[in-house]
Amino acid sequence: MKLYDCQMAPNPRRARIFIAEKGLGIPNVEVSIIDGANLKPEYLAINPWGTLPALQLEDGTVIAEAPCIFRYLETLHPEPNLLGRDAIETARIGAWERFAEMNGMGAIGEFFRNQFEPLADRALPGYAGVKTLPALVERGRQRAAWFYQQLEGRLAEVEYLAGDRYSAADITALCAVDFGKAVGLGIPEGCAQVARWHGLVSARPATQV
């Protein structure tokens, strides 16, 4: 098994943290997004969507999409549990994990990609030729503000995003927040609960990847 990875990118980091939390040693193959290696025929033969991460199994099967990599690995390695122990917890973790991807990662990606010159004709991950739209920089900023507001409200009620224990929802939210910090949309002033939670999850050894 191997993980097609890109060290500087937030979505592959979701997979790396999940793998580290499970204590699995899966080798990484670095694919440079900035150099466009993910859009070259060699990588498109592995993942035609050109996105990272992708997990390749021994028989050649490729699993794209971080949440699907989570699901596959948790099915094989149930402990420590990161996706939920019963129907309601699984639904809650799934909802917050999707929220973090769509509204955190999505907003910050929109803000970043639509102003980052080296990706000028690559407005969407993996797809070459989709032009950036400068107006989406401001929209991404506004969406990110809403994301942080939602996180703050939620984390005022619970210790971790999906409740009283760490889960895949925290992994995706952490990767989104750290991506935001790197591109100028860090935790806003006044989001004390998000800062508390960020310190808590960042202290986990598995998140140091």
Nearer to ligand GSH, 124 or 158 (CB): 124
The 3-state DSSP class for residue 63 equals strand
Does residue 11 bind ligand GSH (CB under 6 A)? Answer: yes
x/- map, 126-145, ligand GSH, by CB under 6 A? x-------------------
What's the closest the beta carbon of residue 156 comes to ligand GSH, in angstroms? 28
Neighbours of 24 (CB within 10 A): 13
Element (DSSP H or E) covering residue 3: strand 2-5
Element (DSSP H or E) covering residue 17: helix 10-22
Of 10, 94, 140, 180, the one binding ligand GSH (CB under 6 A) is 10
Q: Which residues pair with 63 in a beta bridge?
A: 55
Nearer to ligand GSH, 101 or 152 (CB): 101
Hey, what are 186's tokens?
A: 């860090």
Nearer to ligand GSH, 185 or 191 (CB): 185
Q: Which stretch binds ligand GSH (CB under 6 A): 3-11, 86-94, 133-141, 153-161?
A: 3-11
Does residue 38 bind ligand GSH (CB under 6 A)? Answer: yes
Neighbours of 49 (CB within 10 A): 14
Which residues within the stretch 46-85 sit at the binding site for ligand GSH (CB under 6 A)? 50-53, 65-67
Does residue 180 bind ligand GSH (CB under 6 A)? Answer: no
* CA atoms of 139 and 54, how far apart (whole Å): 29
Nearer to ligand GSH, 129 or 205 (CB): 129
What strand order describes the sheet that includes 2-5? 28-30, 2-5, 54-56, 62-64
Hey, what are 175's tokens?
A: 């990767």
Q: What is the dihedral of CA 47, 4, 20, 96, to 10 degrees?
A: -40
Nearer to ligand GSH, 66 or 191 (CB): 66
x/- map, 96-125, ligand GSH, by CB under 6 A? --------------------------x--x
Query: Is residue 51 within 8 Å of residue 102, measured between CB atoms?
Result: no
| Binding stretches for ligand GSH (CB under 6 A) | 9-11, 33, 38, 50-53, 65-67, 122, 125-126
